[in-house]
Structure 1
Amino acid sequence: MAVIDSSPPLHVLLAPDSFKGSLSARGVCEAMSAGLDRLGPRFELTRMPLADGGEGSVDVIVAARGHDLRTVSTADALGRPVRASYALSKDHRSAVVEIAAASGLPGIADLPAAALSASTEGTGVLIRDALDHGVEEVVLCLGGSATTDGGTGILRSLGARFLDSQGRDLQPGGGALQNLATVDFSGLAPGLRRVRWRLATDVTSPAWGPTGAAHVFGPQKGASPDDVEALDRGLQRLGHVLSAAGLPVTPQLPGMGAAGATPLGLFAVFEARIESGARMVMELAGFSDAAARADLVVTGEGRFDDQSLQGKVVGEVARQAAGRPVLVIAGSVDVEPEQAYRAGVAAAFSIAPGPASLRSLCAEASDLIARTSYDVFAAVLAGRPSPHPQSLP
């Protein structure tokens, strides 16, 4: 017979990343909630889906901060017309833009690879729309781009020109940068340099070289070995020309190679600041205050491994959890318990019920997350001090 539990509800903060390839962070929150709901009204839940500065970051900010979602006509990475959205704060002081919204790889997946000509100009159109609304801060989330143009497409949309030795405008994309001779920023609105630029990324690659944007990420964007070399030369040429124009160029700064070295141009022209994407999104979403009100924090991602603890969402949640216990629910767990504990994770649980393929785990992710959440929190309740014995439904 069930005995009524008179202890107060346990306040749980659900703060997962997406399970890439299967569920958005919002979907993960819903699946976790479904598992906890089966245990009855014993939990007070705060749902805070998170992102690492890549795809999904705008949705997180819209949900957490109540920003407006603006959809405008722009162009994809290969110049085709497309509609894309960004987040605009109610007071029009800040905008959050994902580079993947207009210049992302999925948006051009229906065409043959075109790594040399892919451009960030469409993202620049989104930023220009935000600037037309008077924003004082642009937060640019750098995950998922199809481009390796050093941010020149964005700058071109804002009025900059990139010229060859004959004074002709270069074609869009990183491949043309090998022929860059001069830059002309006279067309940029004077007020642009007063805007605060924040670039959110979860990579630490330099702009060029063997571990730079072209070599590390170019093949993922369809670049052949020859393309990779051409793109790398183009980024080096861009850095040289910007430096010759008296602008700051710091190619080895961690994160400078994010999104095809997009920070290279934006740092030089606007002194944009590169930040941890997960940390920035959590700040904008109000994570610290929510964690301070919780008894327990639950996070998760598709694969919990060493990289998770190096600036990814799960590692940042553990770092910023205000001393609250942190549990991880993940598709797979590849971290030693001692290592996880040292990083602030009390325990980690895989949703895999046994040997399973990645395809089957992705297909059944929602049900498996719900079931794992139920099992984990049934154990939490069983060990929770209570004036009355408890039995689970």
Structure 2
Amino acid sequence: MNVVLAIDSFKGCASSQELSSWIEEGIKEVYQEASVTACYIADGGEGMLAAIMQNVRGEIVTCKVHDPLMNPISAQYGILEDGITAVIEMAQAGGLPLVPKEKRNPLLTTTFGVGEMVKDAIAKGCRKFIVGIGGSATNDAALGMLQALGYRFLDEAGNELGLGGAILESVHHVDESRVLLELKTCEFTVACDVDNVMFGPSGSAHIYAAQKGADAAMIERLDAGMKHFTHVLKSTLGKDVAMNAGSGAAGGMGGGMQAFLDATLRSGIEIILDQIGFAAHLKEATLVITGEGRIDQQSLMGKVLSGVSKRAQKAGVPLIALGGGIADELEEHEGVDALFSIMRYPMSLEEAMEKPRAEKLVKQSVKEIFRLIKLIKNSAS
């Protein structure tokens, strides 16, 4: 039996790597002859860099950049073995965990550090970029990133503007005279798993800015600023990206990268599965195990479970999904042969997320699943 593991992290509890190790141990306790292959998985947000770089050949690069409040920090990105493809996780320089709760303010936070990472990779010869934009602390439509790459954003009087989401409302002109020349030869693919647009009721500010520290007044200001900025893009650059699905991702970063860098937005899990050669693993697989911390309707919308199940179904390989919990409304999912929760008795979320307990629950669940598989196989023979 060849088992392929493609399980997402249980966020706040265990990584994809830890879960894969626990599942393999559980399988081996029951089915020692099983061959287990672990594919570390993420959905394009935090953890994407580790997921890709632990599955493929390449190197991790550390560089000096600025965090969302322009404090100096070190960030990491990957360069694949081809030497020209960089894997950048925006959360490394623009992620919400980098900003203390009391200092979170998307009027001030910037994606400047993400641009510094891109600039560093360009200096090292990279021309293809895979950028995961989940988990942002920003709502600046990628203006900070672009500023780090040489773009200048000017107000109505021609004065250069500063940083943060607050400048969106004041941009009237774009100066491209200092932009890195190498950008013209660069190709950007953005890992994006949401459909939000840049402004309006389903726009970046109204949906996500509150969790980044914005109050009601800030949200309205950011939304109005984003709307103004998209009109400037349309009138000055001829770029109409505001209503593109995913343009509002990461505080408008998806749209900003489309407008200025001709970026292509793709599902994060699809990018990762392609990069790790998941199709080749499926050719040898008897069974695939996937899952995430909570399996619900969101799991069906471009997340890990959705991406893995489509690939497994196409390849004709049975798929089992494990979750810390399964929502009541989710009784089945196309492409998933069985859904299992690791919970064995009532407990609080805090108790369930204790790592030693989670490890025990995962192993117990896996052992029961494989005892059943072994029983059925023995009965059939």
- Asked if these proteins are the same fold (TM beyond 0.5), I'd say yes
* 1:368 equivalent in structure 2: 361
Partner of 1:326: 319
* Residue 235 of structure 2 is aligned to residue 244 of structure 1: yes
| Partner Cα distance (1:368, 1:67) in 2 | 34
1:303-322 map, 5 Å: 303-321=294-312, 322=315
User: What runs of 5+ residues in structure 1 fail to find an aligned partner?
Assistant: 1-9, 389-393
TM-score for both structures, normalised by structure 1:
0.93
Number of equivalences:
377
The answer as to whether partners of 1:249 and 1:264 remain within 8 angstroms in 2 is: no
Give RMSD over aligned pairs.
Answer: 1.5
Q: Are the structure 2 counterparts of residues 262 and 49 from structure 1 closer, same or farther at C-alpha, using a change threshold of 3 Å? A: same
Mapped partners of 2:321, 2:241: distance in 1: 37
Alpha-carbon separation, structure 2, partners of 1:131 and 1:199: 17
* Residues in 2 aligned to 1:279 and 1:309: alpha-carbon distance in whole angstroms: 13
Are residues 1:117 and 2:108 paired?
Answer: yes
Deviation at 1:40? Answer: 4.6
Counterpart selection for 1:58 from 29, 49, 55: 49
Offset at residue 34 of structure 1 (A): 1.8
Q: CA deviation at 1:338?
A: 5.6
- In the alignment, the residues of structure 1 paired with residue 96 and residue 329 of structure 2 have an alpha-carbon distance, to the nearest angstrom, of 34
CA contact (8 A) 1:199 1:263 kept: yes
Task: Name 1:281's counterpart in structure 2.
Answer: 272
CA distance in 1, matches of 2:161, 2:65: 20
Q: Is the 8 A contact 1:247 1:269 kept in 2?
A: no
Between the aligned partners of 2:18 and 2:226, the Cα distance in structure 1 is: 38
- The residue that corresponds to 2:145 in the other structure is 154
CA contact (8 A) 2:206 2:219 kept: yes
Larger CA deviation: 97-106 vs 326-335? 326-335
In the TM superposition, residue 377 of structure 1 has moved relative to its aligned partner by 1.1
CA distance in structure 1 between the partners assigned to 2:369 and 2:340 by the alignment: 8
Question: Structure 1 residue 93 and structure 2 residue 110: aligned?
Answer: no
* Superposition deviation, residue 91 in structure 1: 2.6
Q: Which one of 197, 216, 219 corresponds to residue 206 of structure 1?
A: 197
Structure 1 residue 387: Cα displacement: 8.6
| Aligned residue in 2 for 1:3 | none
Q: Is the 8 A contact 2:101 2:213 kept in 1?
A: no
* Paired letter, 1:186: S
Cα drift, residue 190 of structure 1: 2.8
For residues 315-353 of structure 1, the C-alpha deviation after alignment (integer angstroms, 9 at most, x for no partner) is: 11110011100001100112667632xx11000110111
Map of 1:18-29 to 2, 5 A cutoff? 18-29=9-20
Q: State, as a whole percentage, how many aligned pairs show the same letter.
A: 34
- Encode CA deviations 1:87-131: one digit per residue, 9 max, x unaligned: 111232100101101110001126422221100000111111111
TM-score, normalising length from structure 2? 0.96
Alignment of 1:99-138 (within 5 A): 99-109=90-100, 111-138=102-129
Q: Aligned partners of 1:197, 1:279: CA distance in 2, in Å? A: 15
The one-character-per-residue Cα deviations of 1:222-257 (angstroms, maximum 9, x if unpaired) are 100111111111211221112122232221111111
Q: What are the superposed Cα offsets for residues 197-237 of structure 1, whole Å, 9 maximum, x if unpaired?
A: 10101111011111100000000101001111111112112
Residue deviations 1:51-106 (CA, integer Å, cap 9, x gap)? 11101110011111122111111011110011110111123210010110111000
CA displacement, residues 139-185 of structure 1 (integer Å, 9 cap, x when unaligned): 11010000000010110000000111232221211112111121111
| 1:152 partner letter | L
Counterpart of 1:6? none
1:14 is displaced (CA, Å) by 0.6
Matches of residues 187-226 of structure 1 in structure 2 within 5 Å? 187-226=178-217
Q: 1:140 to 1:208 in 2, by over 3 A?
A: same
CA distance in 1, matches of 2:365, 2:344: 9
CA contact (8 A) 2:139 2:209 kept: yes
Q: Which amino acid aligns with 1:89?
A: L
Query: In the aligned structure 1, how far is the partner of 2:329 from the partner of 2:154?
Result: 53
Question: Hey, what's the Cα distance between the residues in 1 that align with 2:46 and 2:22?
Answer: 20
| Higher mean displacement: 353-362 or 330-339 | 330-339
Counterpart of 2:193, as a letter, is D
Tell me the equivalent position of 1:382.
375
Q: Find the counterpart in structure 1 of residue 260 from structure 2.
A: 269
Unaligned segments of structure 2, at least 5 residues: none
Residue number in structure 2 paired with 1:257? 248
CA change 1:227–1:215 in 2 (3 A) is same
Per-residue CA distance 1:252-308 (angstroms, 9 max, x = gap)? 111111100102221111211111111111111111111121000000100111111
Find the aligned partners of 1:42 and 1:358 in 2 and give their Cα distance.
35
**8 Å contact kept, 2:332–2:339:** no
1:72 match: secondary structure = strand
**Other structure's SS at 1:65 match:** coil
Alpha-carbon distance in 1 for matches of 2:283, 2:241: 38
Could you tell me whether the CA contact under 8 Å between 1:247 and 1:268 is conserved in 2? no
Partner of 1:71: 62
Q: Which amino acid aligns with 2:376?
A: G
Amino acid at match of 1:331: G
For 1:4, the equivalent position in structure 2 comes to none
